[in-house]
Structure 1
Amino acid sequence: MANCLRSLIALLSLSTSLCFAQEALVVASTTSTEQSGLFGWILPRFEQSTAIKVRVVAVGTGQALEIGRRGDADVLFVHDRAAEDKFVADGYGSYRKDVMYNDFIIVGPQDDPAGVRKAANVNDALIAIARTGQSFISRGDKSGTHAAELRLWSKAGTDPKTLAGYKETGSGMGPTLNMAAATGAYTISDRATWGAFKNRRDLDLVYAGDPVLFNPYGVIPVNPARHAHVKKEAAERFAQWLISPTGQEAIAAFRADGQQVFFPNAKK
């Protein structure tokens, strides 16, 4: 009888554990927060302080926003400000809060055949790549990085799809950097993923610093008025932890390749 009772208790404990695992907070986020290693740094701290388990769905920002629209995530952590504001304005998000920022950079062959290092601004850098017929690898995945890249090409007065050397991977930043490294091509990356990227081969950072390359990240709890099943309280705690002094300090302390690659900017 005692053995049966112990077995029943064990089964109930296992069942309870599985229920809690299924109840993990779902965060839909950009690949840069995952591939840079940021989540591996901050999530254990969040989980320890709140006892809330987190499951990350790391996709491009466009896909993350679509996941939120369907109600398949509880909270978003993304970086395409115009699309984020529309998401909230359309009623899918409860609000958006600034969390952190970094910047976009252009990487390319170390010998820089397009002369991008000499460019006065990012417009000139992209025009130089186009004019010299160099290969350029685009994510082509409707991510925040892809959206920023297309805006930059537009400001440079160039339709990249008319360029012979322009190719799209349709995938995340890591695979796109891998293809650029394998083919000696240029690409645009967020600084954090580049900092964590190991397969650089002949690639080098060839352009950075233009203010238009500013890359802000925001957190958006999915609106429970739109999707009643979302974990409202857990999503709220995650959002508030990110913008709290504790969360902001954790973000500031993260390093990729020995460098700070995310800079907290939550409003006090």
Structure 2
Amino acid sequence: MTTRRRLVLGTCAVLSFPALAQQRASLADPLRLGADTALVESGLAAALQTAFGRATGVAVKLQAGPSLPLLEALERGELDATLTNAPEAETRLESQGLAHDRRRVADSALVLVGPAPKKKQPDPAGIAKMSDVAAALVQLRDAALDQPSISFLSAGDGSGAHAAEQALWRAAKVAPAAPWYAKAAPGGLATQARQQGAYALVERGVWADRGGAPLAVLVEGDPRMALPVHVMRSFRVSHPAGKLFVAWITGPKGRAVVAAQRGYRAP
């Protein structure tokens, strides 16, 4: 079942429930926060969790996972709030009245990484320093078809980075396919791409924390690679500290935490 269909079904289901959200018992209950895998791997989610807890005394229980399944859990009331980087899915959920209080927390982006050029020798696909990411992906595909040693590794997990990667392939009018295109195994896209010497589109915060040789950032800065981070609250449940959490992480103190994390900018 597609994400879109699940969200539509969720809209029908919510009509059978009372209009008011179910109140969580007390502030003693941890606030259940779902965070996209990339935001956990980069350290951003934990930094916000820790800083908010120290400032307010409210415990936050962090649940890592890909953005799309987390947003479905938010709609069902299994999470109190989410930190995700999947704008299209977030907007759809909000417009259907299945979540609310959506606010931007941080700005990040994808970076296209691959084998680092060596002095006068370019990377195998010859895409380093290209400014148009769609053109770079077309050239990467063409080079991979000619050179079996070239490969591209995808998260393939429904994360925000994966959804953004798929949008970029569509912009390039390329349908990526085996044998040069493969899905990463559980355990981290950046790490596996480095181990395999593969090309990959990686969230900038993750690359700042886990990237490095033998790969390098080859393409960046195209506006289509932007990957903003938003917080949202569930309509099904209402944690007593839910409003406070959203206000705090999007306020001056939360922005200071974001600004201190490599790979992110405060909005």
Q: TM-score, normalised by structure 1?
A: 0.81
2:46 to 35, 40, 51: 40
Q: Return closer, same or farther for 1:203/1:21 CA change in 2, 3 Å cut-off.
A: farther
The equivalent residue for 1:207 is 219
Please give the secondary structure, in 1, of the residue aligned with 2:124. coil
Matched, 1:126 2:137: yes
Q: Structure 2: how far apart are the matches of 1:206 and 1:30?
A: 24
Higher helix share: 1
CA contact (8 A) 2:156 2:162 kept: yes
Contact 2:68/2:159 (CA < 8 Å) preserved in 1? yes
| Alpha-carbon distance in 2 for matches of 1:100, 1:59 | 18
1:239 paired with 2:246, answer: yes
Aligned partners of 1:40, 1:156: CA distance in 2, in Å? 35
Q: Distance in 1 between matches of 2:233 and 2:129?
A: 43
SS at match of 2:108: strand
Percentage of identical aligned residues = 29
> 2: CA distance between counterparts of 1:182 and 1:122?
23
Aligned-pair CA distance for 1:58: 1.0
Q: Which has the larger radius of gyration?
A: 1
What secondary structure sits across from 1:142 in the alignment? coil
- SS state of the match for residue 233, structure 1? coil
Aligned length: 233
- The alignment partner of 1:58 has SS state of strand
**Superposed CA offset, 1:125-149 (max 9, x none):** 1011100012000011111111111
Q: Look up the equivalent residue of 2:226 and give its one-letter code.
A: F
Q: Is 1:263 aligned to 2:262, yes or no?
A: no
Q: Which runs of 5+ in 2 are unaligned?
A: 1-24, 118-122, 145-149
Q: Which has the higher contact order (CA 8 A, sep 6+)?
A: 2
Out of 129, 144, 159, which is 2:175 matched to? Answer: 159
The CA deviation at 1:21 is 10
Change (3 A) 1:22 1:217: same
Equivalent residues of 1:221, 1:232 under 8 A apart? no
Q: Distance in 1 between matches of 2:185 and 2:100?
A: 30
Deviations 1:209-266 (A, max 9, x none): 111111111110111xxx2xx3432221111111111111221122x3xxxx21111x
Output the amino acid matched with 1:117.
A
> Alignment RMSD, CA only?
1.9
CA 1:120/1:247 → structure 2, altered by over 3 Å: closer, same or farther?
closer
Match of 1:6 in 2: none
TM-score (norm 2): 0.82
Once superposed, which parts of structure 1, at least 4 consecutive aligned residues long, lie more than 4 Å away?
19-22
Q: Which moved more, 1:187-196 or 1:109-118?
A: 109-118
Partner in structure 1 of residue 158 of structure 2: 142
Contact 1:141–1:170 under 8 Å retained in 2? no
CA distance in 2, matches of 1:72, 1:138: 28
> Residues 17-166 of structure 1: matches in 2 within 5 Å?
23-111=29-117, 112-133=123-144, 134-161=150-177, 163-166=178-181
Cα distance change, pair 170–179 in 1 and its aligned pair in 2 (3 A): closer
Q: Match for residue 255 of structure 2?
A: 248
Contact 1:105 1:190 in 2 (8 A): yes
Q: Match for 1:192 among 180, 188, 205?
A: 205
**Given that residues 105 and 208 in structure 1 are in contact (C-alpha distance below 8 angstroms), is that contact kept between their aligned partners in structure 2?**
yes
